[in-house]
Amino acid sequence: MGSESLTYAVWHHTTLRYTNSVSLSYNEVRMRPRDRGSQRTLTFSLLSNPAAVPRSRVDYFGNYVHRVDVTGPHDLLEFVVDAVVENSEPRRRRLPEWSPEMLAANPQLEYVLPTRRVPLAQSTRSMWTEWNGEDRSFDAVIATAKRIPQELRYVSGATTVESSIDDLLAGGAGVCQDFTHLFLAMVRGAGWPARYVSGYLGPTGEKTFVEGQSHAWAEVCGADGRWVGLDPTHGEFTGAQHLRLAAGRDYSDVAPHRGLFYGRAEGARPDVLVRITRMSHQQVEIVHRGAAVHWQQQQQQQ
Amino acid sequence: MDELAADSDAAPGIVRHARESNPGRESAPNMATLRDSTLPLGADECVEADGSARGPYMELLGAVTRMRSELSSIRQEAQDWFVQREITFGTPTDGIAPIFPFDPIPRVIGAAEWRTLHRALSQRVMALDHFVSDCYGAQRALRDRVVPGQLVYTSTGYLRDIVGVRPPRSTWCHVSGIDVVRVQGTFHVLEDNVRIPSGVAYALEARRAMEDVAPEWFATSTVRRIDDYTTRLRRILQRIAPRPWEASIVLLTPGSYNAAYYEHKLLAKAIGATLVEGNDLIVSEDEVYRRDDGGGIHRVDVIYSRVNSDWLDPLVFRSESMLGAPGLIEAWRRGNVAIANAPGTGVADDKAIYPYVPAMIRYYLGEEPLIDNVPTFDLGDRTQRDHVVAHFDKMVLKPVDASGGYDIHFGRLVGSEERATLIDRIDADPRQWLAQEEVELSKAICMNPDGSLEPRAIDLRPFVLLDERPWISPGGLTRVAADPAELVVNSSQGGGSKDTWVLSR
């Protein structure tokens, strides 16, 4: 925990409404922060309404998944996540390039192959050449992340969760999910393993509170096996304010909610509200002390 | 490529190729003399070049020749036997599924030939099972460049949600059907079916039919029994159950519109399993239950699944699936239910992986493969692709994930315009295609409705059950091309079957 470390209280509220009462629903939720490097989740809770006991596992990509089965009639399902996450500025390292032979026998190969949402099309390959020429170095990767927000406009509502890279390029505007998919297509086309990261963007500087949606960015893997975060929405390296939730090949692997229900009803898009508060030193102290109190209590009981 | 099915691939159906050339049939006078005196030439499976019967066929063909006048009535009785029992294969039209065509002259495999084939198939299935286990474990073969990681990661059979799972007894491919063809006297593997291979019921019924309609044929040869297949199957299913002492087994079928539904019914009855569809199953607290007609709820320990694994659980795989039950995969992951074959075996069943099976055998078992593949080319590789284009007339091109004999192209039969279109299709998505050298399938004597005999191309699908060691039912399902000129032996393409005899000495 360095001097630049920031601690955030995250409140993530999801509401699913069904047009009619459903008798049973099965849900997979990816909402527990996945710590890596400088990030640490100090406290976490996931509650649902109607109440159910979540069971957790870790998926193929290393994300936490909670299974929440709700039995009995319900026409509304809510998930509330409360977490305290601490993060500090990650190191901005320069990544060594891969040779195709090296990558062919490495598990990170998974992250250069095309997916449904990130096809490796001629359009994105040409864009890379237009922007970077024949340069496929990590500098060109950084340049690409910086250039995307200059070339495309961030317009909330310009696209939907199902929009493709082609939709983004045709309209010239999109949101973080679209920018990230485009960035992934470009760097993968240039031979760099890269993954989609979902998470939150905490307030920095003077601001101590934000309310809104979740965020998305990318991580690129070097030949040394190290991952570095790049945010193609803001055109920069990720910082202490980027709180990681889940990572995968594209949005489909990290979707925060996936579910099925029984009943004559239709499900609507979930309403999502995220509130993030940067905690003061005193508040952080309380969290730590709380943990210490419980720890002492436990020691005494033993 | 195993099961026929609306959703996936075809049951006793695969793609076989044979050359059309058939010298014995061309000259009519020759044919006439043959019909009266001896056996049709060109049936290299049964008859030597000089017209005498091959060793294993000696007794059978003697009996067939002696009973020349009764042959058409035997054929008719056998057909009636299949009709009476409603032994169908194929998708029902107007509610009636077609009767599986059946040829009454058995295919015979000698004891020594079978021993060789048995060893080779045991070896192959062991290696395939190791490979599946490795794909969902440490992926050693990928790191050691035995199998290209790219093929595994782009395979639709590779199920990421089950990586890290160890199924009971560490067995994945409990039931496999390895399709072999005999080319110039030597068996080759054409395809490995380790997902939901079907056809065994047709082999079992073919034997019962022959014992009924031509019992005297069995008197002359010492034919090995095959009726303990279902006992063996039940035993391995019981052994993987979380509660083996009171294992309750269900057979999960996609339903009555599935081409192999007849087989599902027959096997369920024979192994003492309840035949269920996805909506009969319910998962609660990671335990699997089945609902009975009276509204009762019963715990399920083992699912013998005839549903492709990516349809088993809509929560994990395809959300549109109505064939499975949500939560099933998590129940399996936690060891509360066993599923055979284990989900995810499709990765070893991908035709693009098939060329690497000999390498797997060397890698996992440290042995030389005892049976060869048909020469196969990876179209994603530039050099191999160019070789295929340069030798187009000698190639058969097929999509990697189709089955039932659809979209198969014989290079020499493709016109020059279509050829350009086909090559474009392949170049656009080389991962989806596979090229194999066209091979000449062996031909066996088959009977026409009028009792006359003629040679037709055949293949063989032996069924391998795997517990700690493989067990192979003697013989398997022999499939027959629909007519003498047919190049593709596939039940979905109108082909039929024969009884398959393995001699005990």
Q: Could you please report the per-residue DSSP string of B279-324?
A: GGEEEETTEEEEE-TTS-EEE--EEEE-S-GGGS-TTTS-TT--SS
Residue with tokens 């006297």: B185
- Helix A176-189 × helix A138-151 angle, to 10°: 150
B320 pLDDT tier (thresholds 50, 70, 90): low
Q: Determine contact, residues B376/B338, Cβ cutoff 8 Å.
A: no
CB contact under 8 A, A109 and B139: no
A261 pLDDT tier (thresholds 50, 70, 90): confident
Q: What pLDDT shows up at residue A282? A: 86
pLDDT at residue B20 tops 50? no
Q: What pLDDT shows up at residue B429? A: 87
Q: What pLDDT shows up at residue B30? A: 35
Q: Which domains does chain A have, with CATH numbers?
A: 6-87+255-301 (2.60.40.2250), 100-253 (3.10.620.30)
pLDDT at residue A41 tops 70? yes
3-state secondary structure of B250: strand
Q: How far away is chain B from the Cα of A259, in angstroms, using its nearest Cα?
A: 7
A257 touches B at CB < 8 Å: no
Among candidates A59, A110, A260 on the partner chain, residue whose Cβ is nearest the Cβ of B314: A260
Average pLDDT over residues A132-157: 96
CB contact under 8 A, A113 and B154: yes
DSSP line for B431-497? GGEEEEE-----EEEEE-TTS-EEEEEEEEE-EEEESSSEEE-SS-EEEE-SSTT----BGGGT-EE
Which residue, A271, A223, A277, A215, is CA-closest to A243?
Answer: A215
| Percent of residues, chain B, with pLDDT higher than 70 | 88
A55 touches B at CB < 8 Å: yes
Average pLDDT over residues B404-421: 85
B452 touches A at CB < 8 Å: no
pLDDT at residue A116 tops 70? yes
Task: Kindly identify which residue of chain B lies nearest to residue A116, measuring between CA atoms.
Answer: B154
Average pLDDT over residues B206-219: 93
Q: Which domains does chain B have, with CATH numbers?
A: 23-374+439-502 (no CATH), 375-438 (3.30.1490.270)
pLDDT at residue B93 tops 80? no
Which tens digits make up the pLDDT trace of A74-103?
999 999 999 999 999 998 889 999 999 999
Q: How far away is chain B from the Cα of A60, in angstroms, using its nearest Cα?
A: 6
Q: What pLDDT shows up at residue A302? A: 64
> How many residues appear in chain B?
505
Question: Chain A window 5-34: which residues touch B at a Cβ cutoff of 8 Å?
Answer: 26, 28
A137 pLDDT tier (thresholds 50, 70, 90): very high
Lowest mean pLDDT: which of A6-15, A287-296, B224-233, B347-356? Answer: A287-296
What are B395-399's contacts with CB under 8 Å, separation 24+?
Answer: B395/B435, B395/B436, B395/B437, B395/B438, B396/B15, B396/B17, B396/B435, B396/B436, B396/B437, B396/B438, B397/B422, B397/B426, B397/B433, B397/B434, B397/B435, B398/B15, B398/B351, B398/B433, B398/B434, B398/B436, B399/B432, B399/B433, B399/B434
- The tokens describing B400, both together, are 């990697």
Average pLDDT over residues A266-279: 90
| Percent of residues, chain B, with pLDDT higher than 90 | 59
The identity of residue A136, as a single letter, is: R
Which residues of chain A does B330 touch, with a Cβ-Cβ cutoff of 8 Å?
57, 67
Number of H helices, E strands in chain A: 7, 14
The identity of residue B23, as a single letter, is: P
Question: Chain B window 92-151: which residues touch A at a Cβ cutoff of 8 Å?
Answer: 139, 142-145, 148-150
pLDDT at residue A194 tops 90? yes
B14 pLDDT tier (thresholds 50, 70, 90): very low
Q: What pLDDT shows up at residue B70? A: 87
CA distance B397 to B487: 13
Which residue, B111, B107, B106, is CA-closest to B214?
Answer: B106
CA distance A75 to B285: 22
B407 pLDDT tier (thresholds 50, 70, 90): confident
Q: Phi and psi for A263 in degrees, rounded to 5?
A: 150, 160
pLDDT at residue B235 tops 70? yes
Using CA atoms, how far residue B440 sits from B131, B177, B233, B479, B488, in Å, is 30, 21, 34, 15, 11
CB burial readout A10-23, b (16+ within 10 A) else e: bebebebebeeebe
Q: How far away is chain B from the Cα of A55, in angstroms, using its nearest Cα?
A: 10
B359 touches A at CB < 8 Å: no
pLDDT at residue A155 tops 90? yes
The identity of residue B469, as a single letter, is: R
3-state secondary structure of A187: helix
pLDDT at residue B9 tops 60? no
The identity of residue A47, as a single letter, is: L
Residue with tokens 């077609």: B98
| Pure H helices in A133-205 | 138-151, 165-171, 176-189
Q: Determine contact, residues B344/B157, Cβ cutoff 8 Å.
A: yes
pLDDT at residue A291 tops 80? no
How are the residues of chain A apportioned to helix, strand and coil, as percentages rounded to the nearest 5? 25, 40, 35
CA distance B176 to B121: 10
For chain B, the distance separating the N- and C-terminal CA atoms, rounded to the nearest angstrom, is 33
Among candidates A26, A60, A260 on the partner chain, residue whose Cβ is nearest the Cβ of B161: A60
pLDDT at residue A56 tops 90? yes
Among candidates B139, B314, B327 on the partner chain, residue whose Cβ is nearest the Cβ of A107: B139
B314 touches A at CB < 8 Å: yes
Lowest mean pLDDT: which of A132-146, B8-22, B56-70? Answer: B8-22
Which residue, B437, B501, B499, is CA-closest to B102?
Answer: B499
Count CB neighbours of B99 within 10 A: 18
Q: Phi and psi for B4 in degrees, rounded to 5?
A: -75, 180
- The tokens describing A35, both together, are 């710590």
Lowest mean pLDDT: which of A229-238, A276-285, B201-210, B266-275? Answer: A276-285
Lowest mean pLDDT: which of A104-108, A284-288, B246-250, B440-444? Answer: A284-288
A104 touches B at CB < 8 Å: yes
Cis peptide before A20 (omega within 30 of 0): no
- Considering only residues A293 and B38, tell me which one the structure prediction assigns the higher pLDDT: A293
Among candidates B142, B150, B326 on the partner chain, residue whose Cβ is nearest the Cβ of A260: B326
Q: What pLDDT shows up at residue A193? A: 98
Task: Kindly identify which residue of chain B lies nearest to residue A57, measuring between CA atoms.
Answer: B330
3-state secondary structure of B429: coil
pLDDT at residue B40 tops 80? no
A2 pLDDT tier (thresholds 50, 70, 90): very low
- The complex's ipTM works out to 0.91
| Percent of residues, chain A, with pLDDT higher than 70 | 99
CA distance A235 to B154: 31
Average pLDDT over residues A230-243: 96
pLDDT at residue B131 tops 90? yes
Q: CA B68, B69, B75: angle at the middle one, nearest 5?
A: 85
Structural Rg of chain B based on CA atoms: 23
Average pLDDT over residues A31-59: 93
Q: How far away is chain B from the Cα of A278, in angstroms, using its nearest Cα?
A: 36
- In the 3-class helix/strand/coil scheme, how is B387-417 assigned residue by residue? HHHHCHHHEEEEECCCCCCCCCEEHHHCCHH
Q: Phi and psi for A172 in degrees, rounded to 5?
A: 75, 10
CB contact under 8 A, B150 and A109: yes
Structural Rg of chain A based on CA atoms: 21
Q: How far away is chain B from the Cα of A130, in angstroms, using its nearest Cα?
A: 24
pLDDT at residue B32 tops 50? no
Q: What pLDDT shows up at residue B12? A: 37
Substitution target from B281, B315, B321 for chain A, most A beta carbons within 10 A: B315
Q: What is the dihedral of CA A146, A147, A152, A156, to 10 degrees?
A: 0
What average pLDDT does chain B have? 86
Q: Determine contact, residues B252/B258, Cβ cutoff 8 Å.
A: no
- Helix A176-189 × helix A122-132 angle, to 10°: 80
Which tens digits make up the pLDDT trace of B145-176?
999 999 999 999 999 999 999 999 899 999 99
Which residues of chain B does A59 touch, with a Cβ-Cβ cutoff of 8 Å?
160-161
pLDDT at residue B16 tops 50? no
Q: How far away is chain A from the Cα of B164, in angstroms, using its nearest Cα?
A: 8
A67 touches B at CB < 8 Å: yes
Which residue, B202, B210, B204, B206, is CA-closest to B227?
Answer: B204
CB contact under 8 A, B143 and A106: yes
A109 touches B at CB < 8 Å: yes
pLDDT at residue A166 tops 70? yes
pLDDT at residue B29 tops 80? no
- In the 3-class helix/strand/coil scheme, how is B23-80 assigned residue by residue? HHHHCHHHHHHHHHCCCCCCCCCCECCCCCECHHHHHHHHHHHHCHHHHHHHHHHHHH
Average pLDDT over residues A207-235: 95
